[in-house]
């Protein structure tokens, strides 16, 4: 065997990516028998099976795993080449596919992502917000160019990717004006019993906040939990409770949501991580986002409230 048929290899790669021949058939708009025949031909040319059946499911053999790892690299490079040619030879914008963890503050995400745009480099931004684990799964199959998240890529995800800490900010607490004014006096002890709107339990900020509450002996009342950070802030604006947000964008939070800062918690930090797939040529738009992060997340916080 001197050459692999790339058409057969692509069908095999798609079956692994989609999880089954049926799903690959829908993705490729090709009949299942045709896909099965193509894979059988590929196995014959290699000289060994690529799949073995386990009940209703197909599992990769050791050779299948090896072939798949090479196919991942080959088709990733092919997609990079196509994107580079589209953006560099005919004036079409470069597509930048970004996944944003749903717990990240929308204002922080916006500030970072707007750095992608440049007069000399036309960019078509495709942005989606989702739970981090779903975004990492999409990154693994090269459907995303960048993931912004509140924690690094877990070791459990077998993804060839680069993880970069973009920066961090102290956490500030906000509420509508009457609640904020009442709680500023005696802060942070004044937070005891105060109604709190919190991000989900699996978020990094939630874990840090709960650790701070435990260490400080302050026990607020958690009245609501939100996976969507913008919705949490809207409920805070309506007077339902205190909510956390990065102090680095405190002025924007106050303006956009018509709330006021109560104070900052120096020991509680909001971190933003960038996870990008390994690729030969880093997209210029991604580099601009990474470079812009330091001007946003490390700038001095200016909050007119006490710190704790």
Among 46, 63, 84, the domain-final residue is 84
In a domain, 243, yes or no: yes
- Number of domains making up the chain: 2
Is residue 1 one of the residues assigned to a domain? no
Domain boundaries, position 238:
93-308
The residue among 84, 107, 124 that closes a domain is 84
State whether 286 and 152 are in the same domain.
Answer: yes
- List per-residue pLDDT tens for the chain, 308 residues long: 556 788 888 888 888 888 888 888 888 888 989 899 989 999 888 889 999 888 777 889 999 888 888 887 787 777 766 666 665 545 567 788 999 998 898 888 998 999 998 877 788 899 999 999 999 988 887 788 999 999 998 888 877 788 989 888 999 999 999 999 999 999 999 999 999 999 999 899 999 999 999 999 999 999 999 989 999 999 999 999 999 999 989 999 999 999 999 999 989 999 999 999 877 667 888 989 988 887 766 543 434 343 44
Joined together, the tokens standing for residue 97 give 């596919």
Q: What is the CATH number of the domain that holds 149?
A: 3.40.190.290
pTM of the model: 0.68
Looking up tokens 């440049």 gives 118
CA distance 44 to 1: 10
Contact 126, 97 (CB under 8 A): yes
98 and 122 fall within a common domain: yes
Is residue 136 located within the same domain as residue 115? yes
Question: What is the pLDDT, as a whole number, of residue 305?
Answer: 40
Q: Which CATH number goes with the domain that contains 61? A: 1.10.10.10
Last residue of a domain, one of 52, 84, 116: 84
Tokens of 33: 């028998």
Taking CB atoms within 8 Å and a gap of at least 24, the contacts of 37-43 are 38/7, 38/8, 38/11, 38/12, 39/8, 39/11, 39/12, 39/15, 41/5, 41/8, 42/4, 42/5, 42/8, 42/9, 42/11, 42/12
Tell whether 139 and 273 lie within a shared domain: yes
């Amino acid at each position: 065997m001197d050459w692999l048929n790339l058409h057969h290899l692509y069908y095999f790669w798609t079956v692994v990516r989609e999880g089954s021949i049926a799903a690959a058939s829908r993705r490729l708009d090709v009949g299942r028998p045709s896909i099965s025949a193509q894979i059988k031909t590929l196995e014959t040319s290699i000289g060994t099976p690529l799949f073995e059946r386990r009940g209703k499911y197909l599992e990769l053999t050791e050779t299948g795993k090896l072939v798949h790892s090479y196919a991942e690299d080959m088709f990733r490079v092919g997609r990079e080449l196509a994107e580079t040619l589209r953006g560099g030879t005919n004036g079409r914008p470069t597509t930048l596919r970004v996944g944003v963890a749903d717990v990240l503050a929308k204002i922080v995400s916006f500030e970072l992502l707007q750095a992608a745009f440049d007069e000399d480099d036309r960019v078509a931004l495709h942005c989606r917000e989702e739970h981090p684990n779903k975004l990492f799964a999409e990154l693994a199959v090269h459907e995303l160019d960048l993931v912004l998240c509140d924690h690094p890529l877990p070791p459990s995800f077998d993804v060839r990717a680069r993880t970069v800490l973009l920066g961090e900010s102290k956490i500030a607490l906000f509420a509508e004006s009457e609640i904020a004014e009442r709680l500023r006096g005696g802060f942070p002890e004044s937070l005891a019993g105060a109604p709190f709107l919190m991000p989900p339990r699996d978020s990094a900020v939630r874990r840090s906040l709960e650790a701070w509450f435990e260490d400080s002996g302050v026990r607020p009342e958690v009245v609501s939990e939100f996976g969507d950070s913008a919705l949490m802030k809207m409920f805070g604006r309506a007077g339902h409770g205190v909510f956390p947000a990065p102090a680095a964008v405190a002025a924007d939070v106050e303006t956009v949501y018509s709330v006021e800062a109560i104070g900052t918690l120096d020991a509680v930090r909001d971190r933003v991580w960038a996870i990008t797939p390994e690729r030969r040529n880093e997209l210029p738009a991604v580099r601009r986002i990474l470079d812009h992060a330091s001007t946003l997340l490390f700038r001095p916080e200016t909050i007119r409230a006490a710190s704790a």
